Structure 1
């Protein structure tokens, strides 16, 4: 997730509202818990803020890649033990699922991703990654710390939670579809809604952005090998040139969007890898190309997959070559589009305006990056949003996500913790007391 500079922000509120975050109106009946303080104030207290910072820095020093988050998982479980929060582990190999509240329905989930990236950190600071070629360059260390911060606040008020908050510390967001494995484990079967957030450097500190409906694109990956017959570059007529066939395939793949896709249905096909072994004067026997394709509907993703297969194999045949296309579904499963639930969007707006202020809540355009939170949304009403950390006085653009120079402004942590806690508790307050309230998870 590294392209949030594509965001176009539209201010949707203009009046600051200061009603208590633990108060809500449902069907004209006011439900409140006046004894609970403002969660943002609690999250900014040294007891919570300094604790979140320490946890984040500890995790940042030892990043772990997808399904290898053993040390990270241990840090999470240690903190949950210290807080007296029960949990299940392992889930999806290295994940941790915590529980705060009654242990009975209704259930609402909060998700944080915990894996790092295969990037060498270039930021020189006291807590720089101590693991070569691994880095938390997508703020997952911060996401984990903020969810733990929310857990610390919620545990202090557990007796006032009208149901159960499920804490999802999920592995393998970066290409491993960890969310899918969490669902397959069955630990979220009775959850009524799930919320997630992502820190971004393009929004000011404490500002939030999202939208209802399609928010981020679904995506797939392809890798193709085009076979010809190698030979000397001085005598190309004695060879069958796979480089020419691959080059033609790349050009033709671009036309899948420019000439076949509805202009009102955003789609992207990107060839990001092109490789052919050999010296400058040698035509190779084969060439490999690879990339991704993205769209906002399952139909468009399916069509792009079919046409990528047809274009690459067809163009190869025209150039007297053969080709096979692998969509790497075992290693890199297709990610569905992130589609935010309309009712949860309305809930988010009401909570966010009370936590960060109307003027700091934005509605944004869809973006064509992908997020495995979408797997949850296929089976559970879900909502995903962005939280900014850019200094209000900064004029220079910050390094983007997935950059070796990426840094996080830790002053954003209280906003994330407070939003998590507020979204979950007010959601539970809004649900009827009947139905599944006596079911145990």
Structure 2
């Protein structure tokens, strides 16, 4: 049986392997193989779930509460700009959100817990999930049985906006829900010198963009945390041509599920009515993505107790406004079983900063976080902290 420090180093080495070999949403073939090879080598039983995912189980016959711990697996279509020695070997793909660190921490925990399996009071499911980055991987995992027998579930995300040693795990919403909207505006093209002979979709698109900004400021109460952003306006014209069509795209963020329907209805109404005033037509498509990630009260307190024991008094002293407006498909799990999700800080001012935001080509995961999270997981499943 190797010591704790070697177990941590093994996990960090795996993190670097995952970082070198990023795979995009629903393409995590080699990532899945690597995870399963580790589980096989450590004699941990697992089952395939949602093709690239898997669920490993420890102490399946223990009588206590059955806990689930989850890590996501997919990378992003980003060209890495870091200079780390384990930089991505696949140009245009990068673990720019730290899922490599999430997998490494859970694998390190799996290895340690296997050596202490007889001490577990209840079963532990280790959930390795593909397709978090917009692919609804959690939903697919649940549909394929990932939560069978699980009484409560816990997850986390590294958060560069928080200093190392700080974490947040609130009661209620921790991350927002999201969605996207796509608006095709059709008018009548023509010569730029004769706008009166055309029905200009560019002008209508500009007006729609401005009007959509009034949803949050004028149609929702001030207490509602929400965002409606137009992020793309595509008009295939040129300096002398008024185009036939324009496409608008944008994103929605909501802190509470109750605002989704009102925002969606407002988007459709504003787009269609504004289009009519400009003599054009608007076809609106709204694609809901993830609901808000909402912690359960008892589980959030249990998680905070584990974080406090590891990080110390004042671990949650931060001016970070919650819920953050980013989204997570961990929300699917929390709609099915009680649980909680935490944001755990990793930025440092000594040496490398680790402060670049997630989804940045300069993002770097802080390896020191692997051991911290492993220890928190050990506390969550009810074991004493290991000796180095």
TM-score (norm 1): 0.83
| 2:203 maps to 1:248 | no
Counterpart of 1:402 in structure 2 is 359
Aligned length: 381
| 2:190 maps to 1:235 | no
CA RMSD of aligned residues (A): 2.0
Alignment of 1:386-425 (within 5 A): 386-391=343-348, 393=350, 398-425=355-382
- Answer whether contact 1:43 1:415 (CA < 8 A) is retained: no
| 2:264 maps to 1:309 | no
Q: 1:396 to 1:349 in 2, by over 3 A?
A: closer
Q: 1:397 to 1:354 in 2, by over 3 A?
A: closer
- Answer whether contact 1:208 1:388 (CA < 8 A) is retained: yes
SS of 2:219's equivalent in the other structure is: coil
- 1:147 & 1:397 partners in 2: Cα distance? 21
Counterpart of 1:359 in structure 2 is 314
| 2:292 maps to 1:334 | no
Counterpart of 1:368 in structure 2 is 325
- 1:401 & 1:254 partners in 2: Cα distance? 26
- Answer whether contact 1:198 1:385 (CA < 8 A) is retained: yes
Counterpart of 1:33 in structure 2 is none
SS of 2:369's equivalent in the other structure is: helix
Unaligned 5+ runs, structure 1:
1-41, 427-441
- 2:302 & 2:349 partners in 1: Cα distance? 27
- 1:65 & 1:368 partners in 2: Cα distance? 23
Counterpart of 1:36 in structure 2 is none
Query: 1:388 offset after TM fit, Å?
Result: 1.7
Counterpart of 1:202 in structure 2 is 161
Query: 1:104 offset after TM fit, Å?
Result: 5.1
**Deviation digits for residues 48-94 of structure 1 (CA, Å, limit 9, x no counterpart):** 121011111111111111111000000100111111110011x1121
SS of 1:125's equivalent in the other structure is: coil
Q: 1:395 to 1:63 in 2, by over 3 A?
A: closer
**Deviation digits for residues 136-189 of structure 1 (CA, Å, limit 9, x no counterpart):** 000000100000011111111100111110001001110111111111112313
- 2:89 & 2:341 partners in 1: Cα distance? 31
Query: 1:302 offset after TM fit, Å?
Result: 1.0
Q: 1:93 aligns with which of 43, 51, 71?
A: 51
Q: 1:267 to 1:361 in 2, by over 3 A?
A: closer
Counterpart of 2:37 in structure 1 is 78
- Answer whether contact 1:151 1:421 (CA < 8 A) is retained: no
Counterpart of 2:386 in structure 1 is none
SS of 1:199's equivalent in the other structure is: strand
Which is further off, 80-89 or 205-214? 205-214
- 1:116 & 1:201 partners in 2: Cα distance? 17
Counterpart of 2:138 in structure 1 is 179
Query: 1:359 offset after TM fit, Å?
Result: 3.0
**Quick one: higher RCO (CA 8 Å, sep 6+), 1 or 2?**
1
- Answer whether contact 1:209 1:361 (CA < 8 A) is retained: yes
- Answer whether contact 2:354 2:366 (CA < 8 A) is retained: no
Query: 1:336 offset after TM fit, Å?
Result: 0.8
| 2:248 maps to 1:289 | yes
Query: 1:44 offset after TM fit, Å?
Result: 8.9
SS of 1:176's equivalent in the other structure is: coil
- 2:280 & 2:129 partners in 1: Cα distance? 44
- 2:301 & 2:243 partners in 1: Cα distance? 57
Counterpart of 2:341 in structure 1 is 384
TM-score (norm 2): 0.94
- 2:200 & 2:207 partners in 1: Cα distance? 11
- 1:211 & 1:365 partners in 2: Cα distance? 8
Alignment of 1:4-403 (within 5 A): 45-89=4-48, 91-103=49-61, 106-328=65-287, 333-362=288-317, 365-391=322-348, 393=350, 398-403=355-360
- Answer whether contact 1:85 1:100 (CA < 8 A) is retained: yes
Query: 1:382 offset after TM fit, Å?
Result: 1.6
- 2:256 & 2:100 partners in 1: Cα distance? 31
- Answer whether contact 1:110 1:424 (CA < 8 A) is retained: no
- Answer whether contact 2:162 2:344 (CA < 8 A) is retained: yes
- Answer whether contact 2:171 2:296 (CA < 8 A) is retained: yes
- Answer whether contact 2:160 2:347 (CA < 8 A) is retained: yes
